[in-house]
């Protein structure tokens, strides 16, 4: 007895599905290689870079091809999180004078809290 996937009448559709899965996998490897190549465990910015790339790309895809009821809102939320992640990565507080450093540090804390609230509130609903 054949497993369901290889019943003679389903072989052709399953081969098509397997082909497109391989194509999608190769595209993902090509697309993610520059991001993963520079990944390191030293700092949070590497994780932020990966998350920003994923959220920015998904936000753009949702706005163009989304099928969710609230696709524009979901796209906007993802792009906001991506922008917050970019701001957290671009931390250049080393060159700031002392008075500006305190303001910058306060902003970084606010962006960090905003990002945490956005992700905790919407993570499960973005990809449903």
- Gap between the Cα atoms of 123 and 55, Å rounded: 11
What one-character-per-residue DSSP string does 38-93 give? Answer: T--SS-HHHHHHHHHHHHHHHHHHHHHH--STTHHHHHHHHHHHHHHHHHHHT--G
Give pLDDT, residue 69. 74
pLDDT tens track for 26-45: 999 999 999 988 888 877 88
Domain ranges of the chain: 41-126
pLDDT tens track for 102-117: 777 788 888 889 999 9
- Gap between the Cα atoms of 35 and 57, Å rounded: 13
Q: Could you give phi then psi for residue 90, rounded to 5 degrees?
A: -85, 35
Give pLDDT, residue 3. 56
DSSP code of residue 127? T
pLDDT tens track for 45-97: 888 899 999 999 999 988 887 666 778 888 899 999 999 999 888 876 566 56
Give pLDDT, residue 1. 46
Q: What is the pTM of this model?
A: 0.73
């Amino acid at each position: 007895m054949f497993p369901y996937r290889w019943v003679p009448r389903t072989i052709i559709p399953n081969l098509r599905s397997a082909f497109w899965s391989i194509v999608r996998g190769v595209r993902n490897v090509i697309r993610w290689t520059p991001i993963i190549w520079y990944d390191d465990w030293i700092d949070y910015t590497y994780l932020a870079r990966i998350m920003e790339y994923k959220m920015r790309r998904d936000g753009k895809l949702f706005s163009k091809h989304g099928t969710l009821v609230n696709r524009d809102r979901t796209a906007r939320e993802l792009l906001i999180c991506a922008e917050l992640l970019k701001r957290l990565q671009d931390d250049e507080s080393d060159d700031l004078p002392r008075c500006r450093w305190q303001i910058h540090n306060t902003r970084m804390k606010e962006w960090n809290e905003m990002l945490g609230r956005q992700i905790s509130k919407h993570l499960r609903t973005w990809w449903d």
